Amino acid sequence: MNTRRALMTLSAGAAATLGPAAYLLFFRSRCLNWGARADEVAAKLPGDELLADPGLVTTRAITIHAPAGAIWPWLAQMGSGRGGAYSYDWIENLLGLNMHSAEEILPEYQDIKAGDELPLGGHSPVMRVEVADPPRALAVRSTDQAWAWIFALLPEGDSTRLISRNRIATKALSPASRLFYLLFMEPGSLVMERKMLLGIKRRAEHGEYATGE
């Protein structure tokens, strides 16, 4: 019995050690840069300067078969109590974020400009618009200046590459908080952001502006 317990303890310890190691070695790069090409990961985007020395950077991207002008309205209306985030509303609302992803373009939220504040709901920091260059770039930064979120729309033939980049300050976090970010927040952010990018893609490709109507 003692031998079995010892083996179980060793197995649990190995899993706790090898799990993070496997993530770092084999999956982290894919997680942080889902869908993005090497040149897109390396590219400088409008708004990168908003958080010049981040501890964590993610660059994720998707091809949307629609012009940038058909995608921009969905970005412009994002936010709690606005157009939502096009991700898993039920998860976000479990956290009290009041996200309800719109299926139509909302005219009242289209006149977005630098200085506007976009709520994320709950106790999340308010995001302030720092760059609004329709239909090319949108960058927002949290009021505590610990997070910058950048969207870039790059034409590619008849399609558009939508790039989403997060720049997050983590250097002031405790070692335990950094480990939590590494093992839970990074994979979790991929799940939510992948759903968001796919949600924007579906809406833009089938929306009222996709064919210039």
CATH code of the domain containing 106: 3.30.530.20
68 in any annotated domain:
yes
pLDDT band at 25 (very low <50, low <70, confident <90, very high): low
| Average per-residue pLDDT for the chain | 86
Choose among 202, 196, 178: nearest CA to 91: 196
Q: Which domain holds residue 105?
A: 21-206
> pTM for the full model?
0.84
Q: Is residue 115 part of a domain?
A: yes
Q: Give domain status of residue 211, yes or no.
A: no
Report if residue 1 sits inside a domain: no
Of 136, 92, 86, 138, the residue nearest 112 (C-alpha) = 138
Does the residue 6 lie in any domain? no
Is 60 part of any domain?
yes
The b-or-e profile of 27-47 (16+ CB within 10 A means b, else e) is eeeebbbbbbeeebbeeebbb
- What CA–CA distance (Å, rounded) separates 35 from 17? 28
Give the pLDDT score at 198. Answer: 98
SS3 79: strand
Tell me whether residue 153 is in a domain: yes
The verdict on residue 188 lying in a domain is yes
Whole-number pLDDT of residue 175? 79
Residue range 162-204, pLDDT digits in tens: 999 999 998 877 877 777 777 778 888 899 999 999 999 999 9
Helix axes 186-206, 68-76, angle to 10 degrees: 120
Number of domains making up the chain: 1
